[in-house]
């Protein structure tokens, strides 16, 4: 069975789905690994390293024509046309954001397994690409903020006197938020954070940050599967009324709040930005699904009254080597789950496989994606 590793063509994308070390382990498991020429170069993995691991360097059509194709981002139309019917595509496919691509893959007769819909269970934890890539994004977000801010992050004692540390507020304490907290703390900032999930308070405080307490009912992780759920309109208004004063007193706001399959909640309004001091920075990690800041524009830096609003969509690619290594290891663990004596088996009775499976045998099998395609709500 051949595993294809194509080059990623999305703008600014530098990651690769399989790294040489993982390719070598797959070869030892008697897979053939076909890597498109130059696929790993932008992530720091030259073709020679893949060849040394036992992989073959091939042209795009050969990689896309494999039995199993591992991608980081959804394939373009031209790439989908190279997939053969019956092939399996594994990766971050954005099925709830791009159901049109899902339909095209189903029409092509391709089975797709999307990491976005991987069940949030202990058994699936080692395959959790969303978490590994969110770790990279959260780390990068703190560095972006520190670079853009016109202040030092740490307190400094100098011959010119003592410089006070920067204050950073993290909105959303999932994996990306927690990594942003940890990185901002390591850089020396005074960090506070907020999340609507009750479990987040302990996690925030364990990193040495202050948890912001607001008069909004906290959500139980048991009810939401580890994700935040959309607030009722009245609760959302109450949240925004209270957040304003906390946003205003911070030099940096990093927002990471997202709700799967829904528009990201607006947490930083135009009025809040206008209440921040000139020179302050907002880094919005949720812009791909609408953004947490009302003024965010994808991959642009917006200057509003001296406050910079930065909304990058490619943060994991900023640390492409390590992001690719984590992605590839998550994928290797998934292969360990899928491979049986007869090869890779798509068992729709299995919780993990069924949760990830978006298309199978020419049909869209995920109910939420099917509803989107039919014009319903996710």
Which residues carry out catalysis? 120, 125, 128, 131, 227
Secondary structure (3-state) at 195: coil
| Burial 129-154, CB ≥16 within 10 A → b, else e | bbbbbbbbbbbbbbbbbbebbebbbe
Backbone angles phi, psi at 225, to 5 degrees: 65, 25
Q: How is residue 86 annotated by DSSP?
A: T
Asked if 3 contacts 33 with a C-beta cutoff of 8 angstroms, the reply is: yes
Count of alpha carbons within 13 angstroms of residue 241, beta-carbon side: 8
Nearest Cα residue to 232 out of 212, 216, 220: 216
What separation in angstroms does the CA of 9 have from each of 14, 23, 38, 58, 297?
9, 21, 12, 16, 22
Nearest Cα residue to 112 out of 358, 315, 377: 358
- Give the count of beta carbons closer than 10 Å to the beta carbon of residue 80: 17
- Both tokens assigned to 81: 């046309």
**Angstrom distance (rounded) from CA 141 to CA 302:** 16
- Both tokens assigned to 26: 């797959």
H runs (alpha helix) in the chain: 20-28, 47-52, 60-64, 77-80, 99-107, 129-148, 175-186, 200-206, 221-224, 233-248, 270-274, 320-338, 351-356, 367-373
**Angstrom distance (rounded) from CA 59 to CA 372:** 35
Residue 202 CB burial class (10 angstroms; 0-12, 13-18, ≥19):
exposed
């Amino acid at each position: 069975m051949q595993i294809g590793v194509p080059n990623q063509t999305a703008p600014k994308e530098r990651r690769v789905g399989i790294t040489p070390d993982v390719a070598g382990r797959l070869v030892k498991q008697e897979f053939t690994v076909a890597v498109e020429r130059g696929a790993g170069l932008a992530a720091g993995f030259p073709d020679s390293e893949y060849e040394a691991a036992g992989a073959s360097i091939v042209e795009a059509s050969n990689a896309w024509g494999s039995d199993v194709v591992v991608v980081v981002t959804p394939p373009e139309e031209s790439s989908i046309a190279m997939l053969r019917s019956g092939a399996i595509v594994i990766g971050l496919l954005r099925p709830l954001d791009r159901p049109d691509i899902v339909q095209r893959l189903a029409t092509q007769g391709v089975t797709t397994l999307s990491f976005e819909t991987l069940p949030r269970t202990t058994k699936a934890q080692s395959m959790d690409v969303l978490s590994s890539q969110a770790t990279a994004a959260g780390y990068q977000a703190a560095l972006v903020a520190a670079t853009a801010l016109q202040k030092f992050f740490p307190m400094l004692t100098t011959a010119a006197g003592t410089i006070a540390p920067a204050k950073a507020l993290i909105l959303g304490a999932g994996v990306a938020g927690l990594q942003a907290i940890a990185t901002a703390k390591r850089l020396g900032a005074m960090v506070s954070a907020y999340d609507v999930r009750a479990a987040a308070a302990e996690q925030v405080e364990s990193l040495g940050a202050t948890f912001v307490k607001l008069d909004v009912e906290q959500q139980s992780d048991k009810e939401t599967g580890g994700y935040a759920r959309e607030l009722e309109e009245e609760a959302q208004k109450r949240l925004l009324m209270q957040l304003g004063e906390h946003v205003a007193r911070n030099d940096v706001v990093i927002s990471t709040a997202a709700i799967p399959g829904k528009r990201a909640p607006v947490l930083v309004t135009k009025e809040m930005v206008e209440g921040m001091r000139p020179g302050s920075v907002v880094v919005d990690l949720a812009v791909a699904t609408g953004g947490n800041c009302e003024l965010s524009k994808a991959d642009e830096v917006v200057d509003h009254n001296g406050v910079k609003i930065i909304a990058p969509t490619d943060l994991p690619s900023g640390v492409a080597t390590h992001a690719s290594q984590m992605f590839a290891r998550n994928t290797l663990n998934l292969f360990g789950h899928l491979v049986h004596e007869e090869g890779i088996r798509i068992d729709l009775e299995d919780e993990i496989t069924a949760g990830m499976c978006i298309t199978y045998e020419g049909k869209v099998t995920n109910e939420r994606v099917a509803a989107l395609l039919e014009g319903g709500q996710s």
